[in-house]
Amino acid sequence: MIGIIGGTGVYEITDQAHDVEKKVLKTPYGDSPEISLFKLHDRDIAFIPRHAEGHDYPPHMINYRANIWALKKIGVKQIIATNAVGSLQKSIQPGDFVIPHDFLDFTKLRSSTFYDKRTVHVDITNPYCDKIRKAMISAGDLVDQGVYVCTEGPRFETAAEIKMFQTLGGTLVGMTGIPEAVLAREVEMCYASVCLVSNYAASISPDKLTIDEVFEIMEKQKHELVKLINHTIEFMPSENDCSCQKALEGAEVDEIDEV
């Protein structure tokens, strides 16, 4: 089963599906996410809105553990995530799609692991699944790599922070990519993200981008994003053959329920 975690505004993916079944999953993390189950290109899909439909949690309040736990529990092995981001480079413009290959984590207050009662050091050298990234790259016209900088939010960044992120090698800046990618690896799921650039980060563009322009770009590219996800599913590799799914080898963790 393929999981799709939809960022802000990405609910249309279910519009093309027939026989959508909704399931509410009770989790040990306080929230009970609602998951939409349907078929696309002969694959079973589990769709979850990241911000929780009806709640609209801001980035720092999203229950990342509940979302990932619920997808794992329902049988998902591969996750396609979508994130709206700001660009740190002039050459990557609003409206562009980027598939990050690495990240820098500047979050501060989030529950970022399933393993609070035992020591589990998961390897995250390459945090995004290479096989899903390849499927995404085959699916459309996009920037095939980038470093995602995740901030705590909900405020935007200062000019000095943006300069620092650029100096450190960042390509994009967002507030929702982490700990989601890490949690997926902690429970041996393949995970990759397609990022939609909604604006230039603070101080990158000489012209101030208005919120209306951001909404316009999001509205226009939303349909392209859904198309991209659709094509990605067509190119998805088989679901059992990936090193992401052996991330806990030797860690003596048998079941997610133990965490």
**Closest distance of CB 4 from Zn ion, Å:** 16
Candidate segments 50-58, 96-104, 121-129, 173-181, binder of Zn ion by CB under 5 A:
121-129
x/- track of binding to Zn ion for residues 9-38 (CB under 5 A): ------------------------------
Structure tokens at 186: 């902690």
**116/241 with CB nearer Zn ion:** 241
**Closest distance of CB 120 from Zn ion, Å:** 18
**22/246 with CB nearer Zn ion:** 246
Examine residue 129 and tell whether it contacts Zn ion (CB under 5 A): yes
Question: How many other CB atoms sit within 10 Å of the CB of residue 168?
Answer: 12
* Chosen residue from 244, 247, 248, 253 binding Zn ion by CB under 5 A: 244
Candidate segments 162-170, 188-196, 206-214, 232-240, binder of Zn ion by CB under 5 A:
188-196
* Binders in 224-243 for Zn ion, by CB under 5 A: 242
**95/237 with CB nearer Zn ion:** 237
**4/52 with CB nearer Zn ion:** 4
**37/129 with CB nearer Zn ion:** 129
How many residues form the binding site for Zn ion (CB under 5 A)? 4
Candidate segments 68-76, 124-132, 167-175, 201-209, binder of Zn ion by CB under 5 A:
124-132
Mapping DSSP onto H, E and C, the string for 86-121 reads: EECCCCCCCCCEECCCEEEEECCCCCCCCCCCCCCC
**Closest distance of CB 20 from Zn ion, Å:** 26
Examine residue 190 and tell whether it contacts Zn ion (CB under 5 A): yes
**Closest distance of CB 229 from Zn ion, Å:** 17
**Closest distance of CB 187 from Zn ion, Å:** 13
Q: CA 49 to CA 4: how far, in whole Å?
A: 8
Structure tokens at 194: 């397609």
**Closest distance of CB 129 from Zn ion, Å:** 3
Concatenated DSSP letters of the chain: -EEEEE-TT--GGGGG-SS-EEEE---TTS---EEEEEEETTEEEEEEETT-TTT---GGG--HHHHHHHHHHHT--EEEEEEEEEESSTTS-TT-EE--SEEEEE--SS---S-SSS------SS-S-HHHHHHHHHTSS-B---EEEEE--SS---HHHHHHHHHTT--EEESSSTTHHHHHHHTT-EEEEEEEEEEEPTTTSSSPPPHHHHHHHHHHHHHHHHHHHHHHHHHPPPTT--GGGGTTTTS----GGG-
**Closest distance of CB 41 from Zn ion, Å:** 19
Binding site for Zn ion (CB under 5 A): 129, 190, 242, 244
